[in-house]
Structure 1
Amino acid sequence: MVGFQHAVRHAAEAAGLLDEPARAIAAQAWVGGGAPAFAAELARQRAALTAALESALGRLAKEGDAVPSLARPSTGMTAVHGAFSGVEPAQLRRLITGLTTAAGELPRAAVSLGAPEVAAIGSWSAAQADDLRRRLALILRDGGDLAPAPLVAFGLYGGHAPSAATALLTAVAGGDTAALARLLDLQRQATDPTLAARVNAWWRMLDTAARDQAAKALPGLGLLDGLPVTLRDRANRELLAGEKARLAALLTTVPSDPHLRLAWPALLDRVMRELDHVKAIEEGLAQGGRNGRPPAYLLSFDTRALGQAVISFGDPDEADRVVAYVPGLNTTLASYGSDLNRAAVLWDQAHFFAPSQRIASIAWLGYRAPQIDWQLNVPGRSVATDGAAEKGARALASLTDGLRASHGPSGTANLTILGHSYGSLVTGKAAVLRPGRFADDLVFVGSPGVGVRRAEELGVGPGRVWAGEAAGDPVADLARFGNDPGDDSFGARRFYVEDGPFYLTFKAHSDYWNDESESLRNLAHIVNGNYHKVTTKAEEQP
């Protein structure tokens, strides 16, 4: 009898070895990512441990011995999906310590009680402790006591948040260009709102040698949303230089194949157009660092067809305030200079009002904008339909996923998306794709509609949707794509914009960034978060 009671006490002690890890989970050692899956697995291991120990006691019991229940009370493991702004090292070390203790004690209990399945649970605990200890060390290496949310959610517990991207990222680390192409395709689809966060965590968890290897082997690496902006800029500039050299070489070589020679004039025209696009990007980047502005960063580009480019004045990863301008009708890479100028003057004005704030202003031409040309009646290209906006919205949603994923830990960072003309429709559709996580402020100027009837459908906070319309702007009152954002029934906050010409011309549609204009000042106040300074009517002007 004494021997059995000793076994009961030993089993009861062993049954409690996973309680401390469970309490660490209940204290929210992390939130989001693979936390729910990890919590569920820990609960399953605790239940399996109890069952194995009770089964072992049942085999040891003699006639008259009562096998007690070893079930442990619930610890309220509430590892939920959601945002997480930092790492609490003490809680994570508590979790690791508890698992390490279980890993040491459970094999001994398995031998003394004759329960080999208990040893298997000890092996699981050891594997988890080793993995978490390694990941925590890597996180604290880069982030100190405060790590970015995606690093917590997917870097620390990435093994418990499976995704189609996981295997692709592993292949990319080995220099697999096909895997990178598949990742970029997933990025274009924008169906996984966690993709950029996974990319960011994957990169941060690589050591320096692995990072260097991936960057050298994959020229297109900088096109991935979620990677640090400084890395993207460096990789994309190298890619742009390589593209420029390739195109220049084509100009000096007439194809020897007679069939290709017949097509040479058309090929030559395409090469010249793409070289012009390269020049437009280079000129845009050269604007960085001028007139007191911060350096320019190349986040992505595509010289083909009408061309695309995303350039930021200032590093979004370090900024307190980030604004991304989304252009509309007739925008191409050939005309990108005017869009860059709008981003630049908005940075100038915002910096003038708040010189102590770190500001990044992005000119986002990340989609094929509709054109007034022969494709006017093509559904996926026409300004009269939302086909182009649907594609653009996915790219814009991916951009904001990436900006949030790569931004350094901060409680003050604010993201504003500014949609102009057809770009406001792109912005509205992107907001619907990422409800509650797309942007902090949405601003629409000269909008033909944003795809919804009311501002509340866009998923930002109350009073954080803004609309500006110039009298005389022929686009602003169209309401072609849902309710007019400037109408009271839409529910946006109107800000003052100077009237355009009394007759309908497209000049009024483009005057929102004019120097010394009240509209530009109001845009800057919104970007800076100084909402009380935003004027709503002419008599409020200083």
Structure 2
Amino acid sequence: MAAPITFDSLVGYAIANPLAICESVLVANPVEVEALGAVFRAAGASTAESAMCALEAAQLADAAGMIDDKTPVQLMAEVTATKDTLDVNSAQLDLIGGLLSEVGSQIHLVQAKLNSLLDMMYAEIATAASMYECAVPYDPANDAALHEQCAQAALASINTTATSVNAVVDGYDAFLTDHLATLQEDYGYVPPAALNDGAALGNDPAYVSLTTGMPGASAPPGQVQQWWNERSAAEKVWLIDNEGAALSMMHGLPALVLNLVNRRELTDDASSIDAQVAMVETQKASLMQILGVSVASDVFDHPDIRASNPGAADELAGVLPVLAALKVKQANIHGVEDGAKAVAMADGTAIKTYLLDYDDLGSADDGEAVIAIGNPDEAADIAVIVPGTTSSARTMSDYVGSGGNLYAEMNDVDPDSKKSVIAYLGMDAPDTLPDASLPIYANEAAPELAADIAGYTESNLVATGADPHVTVIGHSYGSLVVGAALESGDLIADDVIFVGSPGVGVKNVDELNMDGSHVYVGLLPDDAISNANDFFDMKAGSTLGVPDGAWFGHNPARESFGGTVFDTDTDGDHGDYFDYGTTQLDNMAAVATGQYDEVTLD
């Protein structure tokens, strides 16, 4: 018999390849386009109320971003870029959303028509092939003629389908051209090409060239801001979509941009890690069933069980550390997710959070995250809280909770000013008290802290036209990090607060490279950490800390240090500095809002 009659064997003889004609439309993602339209409409409704994209719109964008395992267009980035670069109001955002939703609906219809035509073509080819292959009785003398007849019937179906799909695609192109013209001419909005026809932008030379000259992680914030502001809206969207990891390392980008790229990565990581943990858990359960145990450790505690199936036992021994490492990563990721939720205030309002930095593991498996309560680009007062020993991404919600308490107190002190409180864990904190006796963690974290704060300050200056009032608060070992950043001369802040400090790495305020009158200190009476500093400070010849015998320099709460010591509650220990309604938090809020006359002194 002759060769089989198939689409692949015949398409080379057709007038055109119907699959090639409709490929770009078939790979388009209508759900993504509709989701983008929905986000624009949500943003429009939100703008009418608060001039900001609704948190619900951001969540919708994240949900739409998880479609079909492909890297989607960054939906909220598209809305943000449009709002930031075009003169559009809430009603116009809603109209843009409506037009995009129409495009998404049309893609659904066109894809259904094209798939129907292709299905019919494949059925006709199968019928022609069956007529030839199943001819009864088989006649060798007529084989060639029958094959030609059936092949021509199949080829005719391919040609007819090519003509039909071409007409459908032409109609869609006309529809799309009309809608894109309306978007561009009426609103100045040009959607990414990935939404236009499904074509990937990743390798487009016009966009790939944007990576040439892209600032690196060590570039000054002013240079980063200039580079970013020179990009068009479409270029910014492409960069967010394709270079998110590089953007997240820069200092000086707008908080909205950092939030977008980091939340996108967080969402992807959460989905991925849960799937990985589930897969390895299943593998572990299967091996335990083979070995006949309900507790994995039994395999290694009982040699007879291990000897019953050494292969399965060895495989289980390899699976357990893999699973443990995955669960650490999973806890970090979900810890950041919990911390990045909106922060509820006592009056029922919810303050948005901005994920300014994120790393699921960090340098020591503890994870890293920096979460701002309130937009730091819009704030007149920015407070940065640097936590201490044992801090990890797994408990990020605790640090955001402390930041939320300070935000509420700052609001009580000065309800009219815009403010932002940043829970800063962009570093590897010591895991144990013995680790905390070493200054290496602080010395490694200090440069990044200084660079990050410089970036927040620059972005705020560009957005508001005025320098924000910046207060940096170091708690416990975090005070040593802040002290190291100040001592180096890299950290620029208006005020610094040390609470629960084991020392800040210097003997007195004169070594901190800032006005000593703006160095504030709080010490609760039952704080074992700061009190331990006094103990070491009195032990001449101690090998800990600086040569004069202190742990990490003199206790900053002592008069000889030269700081301004404020009142605290009459009871409380090392973990109580950020409790709402306390004297110490009232005083920190007064400093953080520049209301120095409201600070009560010890």
Q: TM-score, normalised by structure 2?
A: 0.54
Distance 1:412 1:392, change over 3 A: closer
Corresponding residue number in structure 2 for 1:481: 552
Cα deviation for residue 462 of structure 1 reads: 4.2
Aligned in 2, Cα 1:508/1:534: closer, same or farther, shift over 3 Å? Answer: same
Cα distance in 1 for partners of 2:405, 2:278 equals: 40
Pair 1:450 & 2:489 matched: no
* SS of residue paired to 1:483: coil
More helix by share: 2
**1:464 CA drift (Å):** 0.6
Deviation at 1:172, TM superposition (A): 10
Task: Please say if 1:244 is aligned against 2:270.
Answer: yes
Shift of 1:262: 5.3
Cα separation, 2, equivalents of 1:245 and 1:175: 30
Query: Aligned ranges for residues 211-290 of structure 1 at < 5 Å?
Result: 211-220=236-245, 221-253=247-279, 263-288=318-343
Q: Does 1:535 align with 2:600?
A: yes
* Corresponding position of 1:111: none
Aligned to 1:315: 375
> Do 2:516 and 2:562's aligned partners in 1 also have CA atoms closer than 8 Å?
no
Question: Are 1:513 and 2:578 matched, yes or no?
Answer: yes
Aligned residues: 348
% identical aligned pairs: 27
- Name structure 2 gaps, 5 residues minimum: 1-83, 87-204, 285-310, 534-549
Change (3 A) 1:470 1:288: closer
2:445 paired residue number: 392
Q: For each residue in 1:267-317, what CA deviation from the matched residue of structure 2 results, as whole angstroms up to 9, or x when unmatched? A: 222222222222211211223365324210000111211111110100111
Q: 2:338, 2:389 → 1: CA distance?
A: 22
Deviation sequence 1:341-400 (CA, Å, 0-9, x none): 110000001011211100100100111111227xx3xxxxx2111000011112211111
SS at match of 1:244: helix
Aligned partners of 2:516 and 2:563 also within 8 Å: no
The answer for the alignment partner of 1:35 in structure 2 is none
Shift in Å, 1:535: 0.4
Structure 2 SS opposite 1:519: helix
Given candidates 510, 513, 525, the residue that maps to 2:590 is 525
Map 1:189-228; keep pairs closer than 5 Å: 195-220=220-245, 221-228=247-254
Please list the CA deviations of residues 373-428 of structure 1 after superposition, one character each: whole Å capped at 9, or x if unmatched: 7xx3xxxxx21110000111122111112112211244362000000011000001
Look up the SS of the partner of 1:216 in the other structure.
helix
Q: Distance in 2 between matches of 1:396 and 1:183?
A: 17
- Asked if 2 retains the 8 angstrom alpha-carbon contact of 1:318 and 1:358, the reply is yes
After superposition, the Cα gap between the structure-2 partners of 1:265 and 1:198, relative to the gap in structure 1 and judged at 3 Å, is same
1:52-131 residue pairs with structure 2 within 5 A?
none
Q: How does 1:132-531 map to 2 (within 5 A)?
A: 174=209, 183-184=216-217, 187=218, 195-220=220-245, 221-253=247-279, 263-288=318-343, 291-304=348-361, 305-372=365-432, 376=434, 382-407=435-460, 408-411=463-466, 413-435=468-490, 438-477=492-531, 478=533, 479-500=550-571, 508-531=573-596
| Offset, 1:318 | 0.8
- Return closer, same or farther for 1:400/1:434 CA change in 2, 3 Å cut-off: farther
Structure 1 window deviating more from structure 2 (218-227 vs 336-345): it is: 218-227
User: Structure 2: how far apart are the matches of 1:350 and 1:173?
Assistant: 45
- For the Cα contact (< 8 Å) 2:334–2:394, is it kept in 1? no
Equivalent residues of 1:419, 1:427 under 8 A apart: yes
Once the 2 structures are TM-superposed, how far is the Cα of residue 197 of structure 1 from its aligned partner?
2.3
Give secondary structure in 2 for the equivalent of 1:463.
Answer: helix
Tell me the SS of whatever aligns to 2:574.
Answer: helix
Superposed displacement of residue 236, structure 1 = 0.8
Query: Given that residues 397 and 434 in structure 1 are in contact (C-alpha distance below 8 angstroms), is that contact kept between their aligned partners in structure 2?
Result: no
- Give the structure-1-normalised TM-score: 0.60
Distance 1:225 1:263, change over 3 A: farther
* Displacement of 1:264: 2.3
Identify if the C-alpha distance between structure 1 residues 252 and 496 changes in structure 2 by more than 3 Å, giving closer, same or farther.
closer
Which amino acid letter does the alignment assign opposite residue 261 of structure 2? A
Counterpart-to-counterpart distance in 1, 2:383 and 2:207:
31
Contact persistence 1:223–1:232 (CA under 8 A):
no
2:366 partner amino acid: L
Shift of 1:142: 7.6
- In the alignment, the residues of structure 1 paired with residue 275 and residue 456 of structure 2 have an alpha-carbon distance, to the nearest angstrom, of 36
**What is the one-letter code of the residue matched to 1:209?**
A
Contact 1:175 1:218 in 2 (8 A): no
- The secondary structure found in structure 2 opposite 1:513 is coil
**Residues 154-186 of structure 1: CA deviation (Å, up to 9, x unaligned):** xxxxxxxxxxxxxxxx99974759x98x934xx
1:71 corresponds in structure 2 to none
What amino acid maps onto 2:569 in structure 1?
E
SS in 2 for 1:512: coil
| SS at 1:319 equivalent | coil
- 1:215 Cα offset (Å): 1.1
CA distance in 2: counterparts of 1:183 and 1:263, whole angstroms: 39
Q: Which has the larger radius of gyration?
A: 2
Correspondence for 1:25: none
Q: How much is the aligned-residue C-alpha RMSD, in angstroms?
A: 3.0
Deviation track 1:73-120 (CA, whole Å, cap 9, x = no partner) reads: xxxxxxxxxxxxxxxxxxxxxxxxxxxxxxxxxxxxxxxxxxxxxxxx
1:260–1:227 CA distance, 2 compared to 1 (3 A): farther
Find the aligned partners of 1:383 and 1:391 in 2 and give their Cα distance. Answer: 13
**Secondary structure class of the residue paired with 1:340:** helix
Hey, what's the Cα distance between the residues in 1 that align with 2:264 and 2:342? 18
Contact 1:223 1:299 in 2 (8 A): no
What is the CA-CA distance between 1:519 and the residue it aligns to? Answer: 0.6
Task: Tell me how far apart the structure 2 counterparts of residues 393 and 399 of structure 1 sit (CA, whole Å).
Answer: 10
Structure-2 separation of matches of 1:313 and 1:301: 15
Does the residue aligned with 1:286 lie in a helix, a strand or coil? Answer: coil
1:484 maps to a residue whose letter is: N
Structure 1 unaligned spans of 5+? 1-140, 144-169, 188-193, 377-381, 501-506, 538-542
| 204-213 vs 417-426, which moves further | 204-213
Structure 1 residue 196, shift from structure 2 partner: 2.5
Q: 1:328: how far off?
A: 0.5
Which 4+ stretches in 1 moved above 3 angstroms?
A: 170-177, 252-262, 287-291, 409-412
> Residue deviations 1:2-37, cap 9 Å, x none?
xxxxxxxxxxxxxxxxxxxxxxxxxxxxxxxxxxxx
2:409 and 2:580 in contact (8 A); partners too: no
The residue identity in structure 1 corresponding to 2:476 is: S
Partner Cα separation in structure 2 for residue 171 and residue 331 of structure 1: 44
